[in-house]
Structure 1
Amino acid sequence: MTDIRSKPFIPPSRADLAADWRRSFVNDATVAVLSRMRKTSADEIRLELRGPVSPMKVADFPGGNTVTKIMTLAPDSAFAEIMGLGDKIDLSGIAQFSIASPTSFSEAVFVEEGFPIPTAQGVFEGQLIGPVKKVALIAPLTNELENLSAPNASVVISRLLKIAVGNGGLKVLLSSDPETPAAPAGLLNGIPPIAAGASASDDLDALVAAISAAGIDTSSVAFIVASKQASALEKMPWPNFKRRVIEAHTLAPGTVIAIAADGFVVSGDGEPTVDTSRSAVLHMADPPEMISTPGTPATVAAPAISMFQTDSFALRCIARMTWSVAPGSVAWLENAQW
């Protein structure tokens, strides 16, 4: 008989913990949806989903803030990869926070024993982050989902969350849009593209040089590229190329972005939440409008669909997050020829 006491305890990896948390979050969403659809208790649905090992609770992901958990909902997505580059700051209970970023600073020097040490003087700029913005999705689901087993229903909901969070977040993150009351500014906001060169090496060198010229340490620079450029880089005979490359399918062909992770900060507040309704009325449009607006004449959004009338169901997911980049930490180009 094997003595199990002789086996060393191996703690689960962070990737395993993230997978467990995501599974628990999706299971909670599945319980909320199916219990309402089937008009049964949540415990009955949990029995269907219960595995041989009890999953962790949604709030128990160690060290996990809102940003980490949103990234976990869309694993292997470009959005999660890019957000993973930044330092995480918890803005719970705080509207805004200014991070002191030195633009010039005295360097350390060697000093002979007994002699005075130079006093460091520098210029600081505040890198403002916050307030957090609401990331939300509403997805109508037909009641055919009710006929699926709970594990299969959880697969449908899992894929829905992954696609919606990954694509929606990426579209805003890699845009040049300014900040609005609804969303943070895109990484490219206010940054003109540099001229494309004749080759991939010329372009990548120029992007790194642009960040270096702004006084930013380039050792943490990563590249975010369109799918065509990602494929081209994979074929390059560069055995010593060590930079991280992230493919973003939402970028136009020929677009290449360089970002210094040391100047990138992301933040969130609270837990992602999932709600369900089978009696809501939804305006089936993006962007949506208010269902009705008083006036002369009054306006009504169309097409508007009643979940009750169509025997459907609506799932809503809400989280709160934002991001910020230090001046000079991002450079980009378009119309790359490789």
Structure 2
Amino acid sequence: MSYDLERVARQASEAKELAVHTSRALRDLKRGTKTGLSGRDRFVRHAVLRALAAGRHGINYADVWRERYGERAVTDPAMTTVPTWAVELAPADVGEFLADGQQPLALSRLAPYGRSVSLAGIAALKIPFRAPGADVGGWVAEGAPIPVDDMAFGTVSLSPRKAAAISIFSGELKKRANTDIEALIDTALRADLAAIVDAALLDDQPASVSRPPGLRYNVTAVAASAATDPVAAMRADLAKLVGEIVAGGGTMPVFIVSPVQAVSLSFVPALGYPVIDTVALDPGVVIAVDGPGFVSGVGGAVVDSSKDATFHTDTVPLPVVAGGLAAAPTRSLWQTDSIAVRAIVETAWGVPAGRVAWMEAVKW
């Protein structure tokens, strides 16, 4: 009898707690207040819960949620409608994760100057833009015909591509679960994804079945100034890059530089154009992109973890076993008491022809 009374009392307490949470959520919704974690925090927390649940038989990430964050509820809280939890990571969550923190991606900083689209459920997407051409129109006398514009448009094609990274942690990670595990996973995933995405964004390689085209693909480098005075060379180089963008129909160049060139640009008073610095770009290389012409998108993401997988630990991995041959070297997570967290993100970008210019070996 006492057991039944205790169970009823516990259920009543949980029901009351759930009712309070529901009441607060409805109140905040009515007021229009934003509740819950940011998209960045949801992304990281999702990875943390996956990592802590890895290898624990009979324990899933919803159970870890209740253990770590003190949540108790009659029903499983793993719902996309709950502000502090998301089973499926929305594009907004992924975008906030990539754009926030101490290591924001160059892609995420360039995207706000242009047009952002959702890639959810998209196989290919064509974005129209107006091709540069002679201006049409003018002052018209009474009764005279008005000039007609043929409104020629071009398109930028986006095909989502998959950027993926696997970060491996030792079993000691779980011992740090009450301190800085979120910071560790946040830093690791951001560094891994930044190395993949930004390197592809800024290189000169064509699009393929696995990646979007680099901004410098099929764009001939502009000759840098030969002036020996660094300040004079900088002025000439920036003016030449801006001129290239304007000639291609662009309106607002955004400069992408290495931290070395960013230091030099910081001494230019009132430059007037945005500057993005990134370690993904070699020193001496400067890229100018027409901000409004840049189109990008982010789809959903998958974050999961394992404590039992075996990997081919190489920068160009092969199947662990193919044709009866084993790849080398390999690593067993179970044998080394390690945890692997895997993040897969869909992304794509594009820019109209003529709206990217770049140069190398600048002298400033």
Report TM bin, short chain: 0.7 to 0.9
Task: Give the one of 281, 286, 289 matched to 1:251.
Answer: 281
Give 1:276-287 correspondences, 5 Å limit. 276-287=305-316
Structure-2 residue corresponding to 1:91: 119
Distance change >3 Å, CA 111–CA 324, structure 1 → 2: same
Task: Give the one of 119, 135, 146 matched to 2:148.
Answer: 119
SS class of match (2:92): coil
| Matched residue type, 2:113 | L
| Matched residue type, 1:35 | A
Distance change >3 Å, CA 65–CA 278, structure 1 → 2: closer
The answer to whether the 8 Å contact 2:43/2:89 transfers is no
Structure-1 residue corresponding to 2:188: 160
Structure-2 residue corresponding to 1:333: 359
Structure-1 residue corresponding to 2:158: 129
Structure-1 residue corresponding to 2:293: 263
Distance change >3 Å, CA 170–CA 178, structure 1 → 2: same
Distance change >3 Å, CA 122–CA 21, structure 1 → 2: closer
The answer to whether the 8 Å contact 1:69/1:272 transfers is no
Flag structure 1 segments of 5+ consecutive residues without an equivalent. Answer: 1-8
Distance change >3 Å, CA 78–CA 90, structure 1 → 2: closer
| Matched residue type, 1:209 | G
The answer to whether the 8 Å contact 2:54/2:339 transfers is no
1:321 aligns with 2:350: no
Shift of 1:260: 0.4
Shift of 1:283: 0.5
Flag structure 2 segments of 5+ consecutive residues without an equivalent. Answer: 1-30, 72-81, 228-232
1:78 aligns with 2:96: no
State the distance in 2 between where 1:46 and 1:62 align. Answer: 19
RMSD (Å), alpha carbons: 2.9
The answer to whether the 8 Å contact 2:91/2:298 transfers is no
State the distance in 2 between where 1:224 and 1:301 align. Answer: 39
The answer to whether the 8 Å contact 1:85/1:261 transfers is yes
Structure-2 residue corresponding to 1:30: 48
State the distance in 1 between where 2:154 and 2:322 align. Answer: 44
Question: Under a length normalisation based on structure 1, what TM-score does the superposition of the two structures give?
Answer: 0.83
Distance change >3 Å, CA 156–CA 38, structure 1 → 2: farther
The answer to whether the 8 Å contact 1:177/1:185 transfers is yes
1:42 aligns with 2:61: yes
SS class of match (1:194): coil
Q: Which of 99-108 and 189-198 deviates more? A: 99-108
Give 1:111-260 correspondences, 5 Å limit. 111=140, 116-130=145-159, 132-197=160-225, 198=227, 199-214=233-248, 216-218=249-251, 220-236=252-268, 238=269, 240-260=270-290
The answer to whether the 8 Å contact 1:258/1:332 transfers is yes
Identity %: 28
Distance change >3 Å, CA 286–CA 266, structure 1 → 2: same
SS class of match (2:334): coil
State the distance in 2 between where 1:59 and 1:116 align. Answer: 61
The answer to whether the 8 Å contact 1:74/1:166 transfers is no
State the distance in 2 between where 1:48 and 1:202 align. Answer: 60
State the distance in 2 between where 1:60 and 1:308 align. Answer: 27
The answer to whether the 8 Å contact 1:105/1:120 transfers is no
Paired residue total: 316
The answer to whether the 8 Å contact 1:71/1:83 transfers is no
Structure-1 residue corresponding to 2:327: 301
State the distance in 2 between where 1:63 and 1:284 align. Answer: 30
State the distance in 2 between where 1:83 and 1:225 align. Answer: 16
Distance change >3 Å, CA 326–CA 312, structure 1 → 2: same
SS class of match (2:190): helix
Considering only CA atoms, is the larger Rg found in Structure 1 or Structure 2? Answer: 2
Question: Under a length normalisation based on structure 2, what TM-score does the superposition of the two structures give?
Answer: 0.77
Q: Which of 146-155 and 221-230 deviates more? A: 146-155
Structure-1 residue corresponding to 2:136: 107
Q: Which of 114-123 and 311-320 deviates more? A: 114-123
